[in-house]
Copies of this chain bind each other. A is one copy, B any other.
Amino acid sequence: MKLHPRLAADTGAIGETRDFWLRWMNDRRFPWVIVIPRREGVVAMHELEPGFQRVLMDGVNGCAGCLEEITGADRINVGVLGNQVPQLHVHVVARFRDDPCWPGPVWGNGTPRPYNEGELPSWLQGLREGISDLFR
Q: Copies per complex?
A: 2
Chain B hits for A64, CB < 8 A: 44-46
Q: Is the CB–CB distance between B79 and A105 below 8 Å? A: yes
Q: Which residue of B lies closest to A85 (CB)?
A: B103
Cα A43 to Cα B95 with chains together (Å) = 13
Q: Which one of A33-41, A53-61, A117-125 is at the B interface?
A: A53-61
How many residues on A have C-beta within 8 angstroms of the other chain's C-beta atoms?
Answer: 33
Chain B hits for A46, CB < 8 A: 61-62, 64-65, 68, 76
Query: Given the known A-B contacts A50-B58, A57-B53, A102-B83, are A43 and B107 also in contact in the complex, defined by CB atoms under 8 Å?
Result: no
A66 to chain B, nearest CB (A): 9
